Amino acid sequence: MRLRSVLVWIALGTAIAASACSATETQSGLDCDPGSDSDSDGDTDGEADAGSDSGADTDTDGFIANVCLDPGHPSSDGDKLWESIINRKVGFYLEDLLRAAGYDVLQTTDDIDEETIFADDFDNEGPAEQAMLVVTSLESRTDDCNAWPADYFISIHHNAVTDTSVNYTLTIYGEDSGYEPWFTGALDWASITTDYLYDAMNVDGYQTWGDRSALGYGLWVLQNTEMIGILTEGSFYSNPDEYGLLNTSNDYLYGEAEAIFAAFAEFTAG
């Protein structure tokens, strides 16, 4: 387990960075998967808890709470294989941090184990390594989190667009058909996460959005999970410099996980 201590951040009450900025760039490059759109019928799975608090403070197993981690992709054959591996690496680091802090963790993917993915000879770009990835449907991911049940949900992604100069960090939360957050506190959590990621990543901008405001539709994993959640797009791997950092530096990936964890710790403490 590759754990470095950032738990002192909680005790020290680290202040968050500047508030998230308003959107000024196009969202057409988002690599997130669309969810069911409830505008037409007013009903979507998981919406019954809209506006509720984030979940129990403790559970009967002695953990602080249950956190479901969703390293994004592949959701279809050949879909974003390299990104999927990077998402899993960040997910394992984040799991280590959460468990050390007393949370129980469920990951929605189990195709590559932690020892294998962090082996010295593991090639993120390698066909053999990418062949280890197993397609997991968005439905099965949300169903697993709901059935556990989780108290918090974090979906981990990285982004890409045609313009290779673009590179900013983005955090998304779920909105109802009236463009209001499904869960109380979701906007605050997303904004804090954006701030921490902006400080940790080699990016030149930052944004926080509701899914419908950003895309015009709801993202499946944020519309159909029954607990408060966010989706992170840490950076744009279509940017060559960013791709190089994500592909070659596990320390950089760990820093991304640290940022997501620190934001979560601050949000839950608050």
Query: Quick check: 259 pLDDT over 60?
Result: yes
Nearest to 109 by CA among 80, 76, 84, 126: 84
Question: Length of the chain in residues, anyone?
Answer: 270
227-253 pLDDT, tens digit per residue, is 999 999 999 999 999 999 999 999 999
96-155 pLDDT, tens digit per residue, is 999 999 999 999 999 999 999 999 999 999 999 999 999 999 999 999 999 999 999 999
Whole-angstrom distance, CA of residue 62 vs CA of residue 65: 9
Whole-angstrom distance, CA of residue 250 vs CA of residue 146: 31
Q: Are 247 and 87 in contact (CB under 8 A)?
A: no
Instruction: Reduce the DSSP state of residue 54 to 3 states and report it.
Output: coil
DSSP string, 190-246: HHHHHHHHHHHSS-S-EEEEEHHHHHSS-BHHHHS-SSEEEEEEEEETTSHHHHHHH
15-72 pLDDT, tens digit per residue, is 323 333 333 233 434 544 445 443 333 333 333 344 444 443 444 478 999 999 999 9
Give the chain's count of helices (H) and strands (E). 10, 6
Nearest to 91 by CA among 111, 66, 72: 72
Which pLDDT score is estimated for 6? 43
Which pLDDT score is estimated for 30? 54
Averaged pLDDT for residues 82-108: 98
Which domains occur in the chain, in start order? 65-269 (3.40.630.40)
Kindly state the tokens that stand for 79. Answer: 């879909």
pTM, two decimal places: 0.83
